[in-house]
Amino acid sequence: MSFHFYHGKRYRTFNTYLKETFGCRVHKVSLDAGFTCPNRDGTCGTGGCIYCSNKGFSYNTRKGVPPLTEQLKQGIDYMHRRFHASKFIAYFQAYSSTYAPLNHLKKTYDTIRSFPEIVGLFISTRPDCLSEAVLDLIETYREDYLIWIELGLQSASDDTLRRINRGHTVADFIDAATRAARHELPVCAHVILGLPWETKREILKTAELLARLRAPGVKIHALHILKNTRLASEYAARPFALLEMQQYAALVCDFLERVPPEAVVQRLAVDVPKNELVEPQWCLRKQETMVAIEAELERRNSFQGRLSRDTS
Ligand code: SF4
């Protein structure tokens, strides 16, 4: 097996995938459409996931949620000025972006139709917010847009999902991802590495699950603690070990070796706002983290999917 199809990289980067699809760079505009989350409003839980801070996750949430058209216009203008970008993806990022009545969802997603520069519709949500009716609705945009559903998994351990208060099970994720695949809607699984009680073996089980499901995409990040979260209170009361950058880089490589070779790796490190971060501080050094991951793959002479056949 070789990695020549990654265009010289040792994993299938998101930018490469977008260039293959559109022939040019495409930039994401992250949106907060004012949705909430069933794990916050009491429908399936309260308090949310222990690490959840939408202020930490989303620029437009920090800005006080301007009207959607304004968010799109400002995001497009900014990317155009900064990167000379001409094509964009509307990324419904904040909270659970399928958690609303169908007519409201349609009206919200339809906002992007007024922006001809938008070529993609990415929707971030939870496994328990993907009914057949929602999938049918999302499918109607496929003719005009590149569609991805970004689906929170975080870990393939039900024990971990309970401890981080996800309010859904691994089986719920498998069910949602399988049904999305039936609708030919690609799913990008979100995963957290470095939960202090998870062993390397448990972490790799998450990669192996994604390999079994032939997950089309994955987003990975290191556990980091944001202010005003339950995790921040737990950490203040009883500090626990967090990964160092090099440990994270090694784990990412172990993980990538096991995910499907064709999966699009949409993220390996997050942009964390400095004033929202508690620890670890190295999460602010995104570029250095990316370099450490690539150096580790190089050192091993390894690449994405090298071991995934063994687990499928
Ligand atoms: S599912 Fe997402 S929005 Fe809801 S509590 Fe968890 S992290 Fe926050």
For the chain, domain boundaries: 4-306
- Cα(139) to centroid(ligand 1), Å: 24
* 180-225 pLDDT per residue, tens: 999 999 999 999 999 999 999 999 999 999 999 999 999 999 999 9
- pLDDT tens digits for 94-146? 999 999 999 999 999 999 999 999 999 999 999 999 999 999 999 999 999 99
The model's pTM is 0.94
Query: Counting atoms of ligand 1 from 1, which one is nearest the CA of 165?
Result: 6
Q: State the sign of the Cα–Cα–Cα–Cα dihedral 228, 232, 234, 238.
A: negative
- 247 within 8 A of 291, measured Cβ to Cβ: no
In this prediction, residue 189 carries a pLDDT of 98
Tokens of 264: 């699009």
Atom of ligand 1 nearest to the CA of 53: 8
Amino acid at residue number 76: I
37 CA to middle of ligand 1, Å?
A: 6
CATH of domain 4-306: 3.20.20.70
52 touches ligand 1 (CB under 6 Å): yes
Q: Which residues contact 281 (CB under 8 A, 6 or more apart)?
A: none
C-alpha 39 – ligand 1 centre gap (Å) = 6
d(CA 186, CA 190): 13
Identify which of 141, 151, 165, 39 has the alpha carbon closest to the alpha carbon of residue 93. 151
